[in-house]
A and B are shown apart, each in its own frame.
Chain A
Amino acid sequence: MRKWLFFAPLAIFLGVSVFLFTGLFSDPWTRDSALLNRPLPEFDLPDLMQPEQRWNRELLTGEPFLLSVWGVWCPTCKAQLGFMTELKEQGVKVVGLYYPLPVDPAFGDHFSLGQLQRDVQRELAYFGNPYQFNILDENRRLSLDLGVSGSPETFLVDANGKIRMHHVGDINPRVWRQKFEPAFEQLQQVGLAYQGAQP
């Protein structure tokens, strides 16, 4: 019995390495997402800058786009604005989903829309504005439905309104080249065909 006890460390190590091995092949940044290849959840939300304009799922179909969940309170979101603006100039449609954060939770869930609009405008003017428009997730319901766990998060949505890809973390040149670009170009082809098929 005592003899075999000296093999216990080996057994423990081998057990751990099985997990390390399987862990290698599952990228923690992309784990989730029950939403992949499902349509965007239903929503009806106002535009951030012109609240009388309302957006819903149907209005977003027709061409592939990036849905970027962000907020002025999120430093990494700022960091990606520059590169995403370059993407916009290359013809990538980027839609923002603004995730509001009250400045002080003690004041309740209220935020001043005018103040928020000014903050957003100021930030976008300083770092670059990649967004075609921003949807204001008033009660954070859509973010919840999308399973957003932290910002920034970006979803690639195809022309039919289906979610094709999900990324947690910033969009930088490397992520774009390696992850998004091939899929996006393919979807663009499909999207053109889709538009062609519509009378």
Chain B
Amino acid sequence: MIPELGQLALTFSFALSLLLGIVPLYGSYTGNERALMLGKPLALAAALFAGLAFVALAYAFYTDDFTVINVASNSSSVLPWYYKLTATWGSHEGSMVLWVWILTLWTAAVALFSKQLPLLMQGRILGIMGWIGVGFIAFSLFMSNAFERSLPYFPVEGNDLNPLLQDFGMIIHPPLLYMGYVGFAVSFAFAIAALLSGKFDSTWARWARPWTLAAWMFLTLGIMLGSWWAYKELGWGGWWFWDPVENASFMPWLVGTALIHTLAVTEKRGTFKSWTVLLALATFSLSLMGAFLVRSGVLVSVHSFATDPSRGMFLLVFLLIVIGGSLLLYGLRMRSVRSQARYQLFSREVMLWGNNVFMLTATLVVFLGTLLPLFHQELGLGTISIGEPFFNAMFFYLTIPFSLLLGLGPWVRWKQQKWQPLIPPLAMIAVAALIVAVGLMAATQSVQANVALIGLLLGAWVGMSALGEVGQRIRQFGQGLAGIRKLSASHYGMTTAHIGFAVMVIGIAMTTTYSVERDVRMQVGDTVTLSGYEFTLLDLYKLDGPNFGGEAADLKVERDGRFITNLHAEKRFYTIQRTVMTEAAIHARLSRDLYVSLGEALPGDAWSFKVQVKPFVRWIWLGGLLMAIGATWSLLDVRYRRKVLRRAAAPSGDDQSDAKKELAHA
């Protein structure tokens, strides 16, 4: 009964989204205020029913309702309860329901938190979100029904959840990732609404900015968690694989990063208008394209869901309508736009333009690397594969000029900047960065001229320049605490995110250069030494888990005779899915990870072990976390809240003055 109710709720949500797509848009063209006002209740109701559908599905999983095909093939009665719940989004069908729910939640959020928007604009945005919802709910209902039953014959036991997904990281990775993907639908809707209205002043950019930041923040966290999960769960210590599905999430992230930077230019300076609209369209388009690549089976990946050409066909038609339609509208409407660009070559506008050049080059690299094998094959040139070396080399060369620019960018003023005043502080920072980089290297490794040194130099340059810049701004605003308080939250956010980038660059450079690993054969009592750490195998024994068996190993780690930690590594054999999983033992510190994974059983009561020491690997995720914190900090900026109050008091007309004030502020 409950699954049927779930399906019914999803159908209601479909109907409500359809109404949301029609009524407010109708209102926006006829000026019918009542039709426009209906947008909010419709959006809220659609979210409510989509939420009910999700809860119904989760309930079916929780209660082991194996009459539902989706439950039977992705869960089992021996699964711990929390994995039963996460199995809800472990399959293609279930994840679509989650996706739809998150989409309707974003729509509802726009309806709730857009009081400062003119009603007309709000109606357009909600209408566009409604149509996107219609497309995805239709896909879920008609092409991948999560509630389908297999009555009257149903299995008494389920097929179990893919063991790879039985992990804490997996519990929150997909929801965060979807929050990011789908969140860009909001910036997309803002851009389309601007295109429909034909008004490209800086207002739409200001409204779209917090939403874009929020979506970007979620996407950043989602990607970080995915990387951390892969590191922990795949058992060989890699943290990024350039897998097509990872790339599919990385492309919207790169373009989204470019977008949050140009939105600033469009908001504050009123230039880059057509470019910003195009980026907003592209970010969501790439999210959709990612969904298509993952769910159609066009590309082969460890993440791919079951492939089905009819699903792929549906998504492709959806892509053509959404992306093709929006780009057509863009081409038609953009002819008339003129930017009044008045800035010098050395100005913040040009710095941010530089950011865009790098971000889009990086996107192009990922795009080509991901899709070139497909093009190649479809052109009849045979199968090729583009792997890590290509991506790594390209990103290495892109990171160097990008980091140099990133260290310089925040110092430069809008419109024009003279060289001379920047030279003393930047020279000091460059010297300090050199000292810090070499010092850090001397403290952890021996000093050598290698990739790690380049990474450290770039990281120190970006990080110290960000700190120096924020310090300088604070001093400009006043003495001590007064200055600290006066500087805007979005400025602190930016600085934090840039430091995050610096931390990540250092992490990547150090890990790739100094990680060491050994494959060894060990018996109980054996000791192996790796970069000064002595790993001793204490015990080997059989495992007995709820839905798995296997072997476990206990190790002791010492350094210079001093006890460091105990490690516990497992090799699990999941009995229902007949899959072997490696549970690596990890001892994490800021300066290094110790990573031990069990290999194969060898004759003579021995096992093969992979032992790794990975310096600075935590910094990679720490950097990502800092970027997300930076985005959140920016979101807290009073600018985004104050406007609500002011606009409530004075309904319209202070856009211009507002923009001017901010100009003066910057």
A residues sitting closer than 8 Å to B (CB atoms) are: 2-3, 6-7, 9-10, 13-14, 16-17, 19-29, 31-32, 72-73, 75, 78-79, 81-83, 115, 118-119, 122, 127, 174
Contact = CB atoms under 8 A, between A and B. Distances in A.
B402 interface: no
B278 A9 contact: yes
Contacts of A16: 371
B334 A23 contact: no
B330 A118 contact: no
Q: How large is the interface on B (under 10, 10 to 19, 20 to 34, 35 or more residues)?
A: 35 or more
Nearest to A72: B600
Interface in B361-389: 371, 374-375, 377-378, 383
Contacts of B316: 17, 20-21, 24
B603 A122 contact: yes
A2, A10, A82: residue with the most chain B Cβ atoms closer than 10 Å: A10
B328 interface: yes
B580 interface: yes
Contacts of A83: 578
Q: Which 9 A-B residue pairs are closest in the complex by CB-CB distance?
A: A7-B331, A10-B327, A23-B298, A82-B578, A6-B334, A24-B312, A6-B331, A3-B335, A22-B378
A169 to B, nearest CB: 9
Contacts of B175: none
A72 B580 CA distance: 13
Given A3-B335, A17-B320, A24-B316, A79 B292 contact: no
B32 interface: no
B307 A27 contact: yes
Nearest to A9: B327
Interface string B319-338: 11001100110110011000
Given A28-B300, A79-B580, 16 more contacts: A10-B324, A13-B324, A13-B327, A17-B319, A17-B324, A19-B374, A20-B298, A20-B316, A20-B374, A23-B378, A25-B309, A28-B297, A28-B298, A75-B580, A82-B578, A174-B306
Contacts of B324: 10, 13-14, 17
A3, A17, A24, A81: residue with the most chain B Cβ atoms closer than 10 Å: A24
Contacts of B306: 174
Contact of A24 (B282, B298, B603): B298
Nearest to B373: A28
Interface in B619-643: none
A28 B299 contact: yes
B227 interface: no
A88 to B, nearest CB: 15
Contacts of A79: 578-580
Given A10-B324, A31-B383, A19 B378 contact: yes
Contact of B377 (A20, A29, A31): A31
A22 B282 CA distance: 22
Contacts of A115: 603
Contacts of B2: none
A24 B377 contact: no
B274 interface: yes
25 contacts: A3-B335, A6-B330, A6-B331, A6-B335, A7-B331, A9-B281, A9-B331, A10-B327, A13-B327, A14-B324, A16-B371, A17-B320, A19-B371, A20-B319, A24-B298, A26-B378, A28-B299, A28-B300, A31-B377, A31-B383, A82-B578, A118-B603, A119-B603, A122-B601, A127-B578
A23 to B, nearest CB: 4
Given A19-B375, A27-B307, A13 B296 contact: no
Interface in B327-369: 327-328, 330-331, 334-335
Contacts of B292: 20
Nearest to B298: A23
B112 interface: no
Nearest to B581: A75
Given A24-B316, A27-B307, A10 B328 contact: yes
Interface string B549-592: 00000000000000000000000000000111000000000000
B323 A13 contact: yes
A87 to B, nearest CB: 13
Nearest to B293: A20
Contacts of A29: 300
Nearest to B307: A27
A174 B577 CA distance: 13
Interface string B196-226: 0000000000000000000000000000000
Nearest to B376: A19
Contacts of B282: 9
